[in-house]
C-alpha cells in the first residue's frame, strides 16, 4: 500500500527525501496560499526562488518580483506575500518570480522529488483528490518557520492525512501527530491558529484578513505543480 509521511520542518528533509515520492509543500501562512490564489486567478507561471538576490536578478531580466522577508514585502518588489496581491486581474497571464522566508525555500529544498505539488487549505480537496489517483508515496513538507516546527502547516498536513486515510497507509508518527493536531483544530481553525507564533507576527503587520482567507477550505479547485524543476504551473487534470 502507498504511504503518506509528514516532514514537520525542512531541516528534517534529509531523513525523508527520496526521488520516488510526490512531495506536497505547504506554507499556509502564506506562501503556498498566495501561490494557489495566484494560479487559480490566472497567473501563468510562478518561479519560486530561495533568495532575494535570485529574485532581484530575475526582476532585472523583466520578471515581476514578489515576496517577503519576515512577512514584509521586499523593498523594490512589485508584490508582497498577501494572497490578495496575487488575485489581481492585471496579473492574468503574467510570470512572476517569488521568494519568501520559508515557503519558496521549502520548494527549493524539495527538488529531486518525483513531483512537487503546492498545497494549502485553499485547495485541500483538489490536492487530496489528485494524490488519491497517483501511484507514488506522498511526503508532506511543512515549510515551518526558519527551520522550526509550526502549527498551521502541521494542521494542513493533518487535514490531508485525514482526507487520504483508508486509501493510503499512515506509517509515520509525525503524520499521526499531524492528524491529531488537525482533529483538535478543525472545529475552529482560526481560534486554533491564534495560538501560533506566525499569527502573532502577522497580527503585528495588520494582515489578519490574510490569515482568515488562508483558512478558507476549498476556496479554489486547482493543483499547482512545479514543472521541469523550475516553474509553478497549473496541473491539467
State the residues that interact with ligand MLT by CB under 6 A. Answer: 27, 29-31, 68, 71, 81, 100-103, 143
Output 103 or 158, the one with its CB closest to ligand MLT. 103
- Which strand (E) or helix (H) includes residue 27? none
Cα 226 from Cα 115, distance rounded (Å): 7
Q: How far is the CB of 143 from ligand MLT (least distance, A)?
A: 6
Q: What is the smallest separation between the CB atom of 99 and ligand MLT, expressed in angstroms?
A: 9
**C-beta nearest to ligand MLT: residue:** 100
Would you say 91 or 168 has its CB closer to ligand MLT? 91
Count CB atoms within 10 A of the CB of residue 195: 10
Strand bridging mode 45-48 / 95-99: parallel
Cβ 5 to ligand MLT shortest distance, Å: 22
Residue 96, strand partner residues:
46, 64
Q: How far is the CB of 146 from ligand MLT (least distance, A)?
A: 8
∠ CA(192), CA(198), CA(200), 5° rounding? 80
User: 119 forms bridges with which residues in the sheet?
Assistant: 26
CB 186, min distance to ligand MLT, A: 22
Q: Which is nearer to ligand MLT, 114 or 201 (CB)?
A: 201
Cβ closest to ligand MLT, residue 85 vs residue 115: 85
Given the complex with ligand MLT, which of 17 and 201 has the nearer CB atom?
A: 201
d(CA 35, CA 26): 10
Give Cα separations from 163 to 27, 125, 172, 182, 193 (angstroms): 18, 8, 16, 11, 20
Amino acid at each position: 500500500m502507498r504511504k503518506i509521511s509528514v516532514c514537520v520542518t525542512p531541516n528534517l528533509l534529509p531523513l525523508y527525501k527520496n526521488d520516488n515520492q510526490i512531495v506536497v509543500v505547504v506554507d499556509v501562512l502564506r506562501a503556498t496560499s498566495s501561490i494557489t490564489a495566484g494560479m487559480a486567478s490566472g497567473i501563468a507561471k510562478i518561479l519560486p526562488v530561495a533568495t532575494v538576490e535570485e529574485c532581484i536578478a530575475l526582476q532585472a531580466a523583466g520578471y515581476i518580483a514578489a515576496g517577503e522577508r519576515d512577512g514584509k514585502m521586499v523593498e523594490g518588489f512589485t508584490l508582497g506575500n498577501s494572497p490578495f496581491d496575487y488575485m489581481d486581474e492585471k496579473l492574468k497571464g503574467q510570470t512572476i518570480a517569488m521568494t519568501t522566508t520559508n515557503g519558496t525555500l521549502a520548494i527549493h529544498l524539495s527538488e529531486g522529488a518525483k513531483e512537487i505539488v503546492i498545497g494549502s487549505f485553499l485547495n485541500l480537496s483538489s490536492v487530496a483528490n489528485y494524490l488519491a489517483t497517483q501511484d507514488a508515496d506522498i511526503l508532506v513538507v511543512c515549510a515551518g518557520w526558519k527551520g522550526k516546527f509550526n502549527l498551521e502547516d502541521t494542521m494542513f498536513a493533518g487535514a490531508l492525512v485525514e482526507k487520504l486515510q483508508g486509501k493510503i497507509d499512515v506509517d509515520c508518527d509525525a503524520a499521526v501527530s499531524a492528524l491529531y493536531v488537525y482533529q483538535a483544530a478543525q472545529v475552529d481553525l482560526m481560534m486554533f491558529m491564534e495560538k501560533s507564533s506566525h499569527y502573532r507576527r502577522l497580527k503585528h503587520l495588520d494582515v489578519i484578513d490574510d490569515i482568515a482567507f488562508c483558512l478558507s477550505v476549498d476556496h479554489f479547485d486547482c493543483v499547482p505543480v512545479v514543472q521541469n524543476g523550475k516553474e509553478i504551473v497549473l496541473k491539467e487534470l
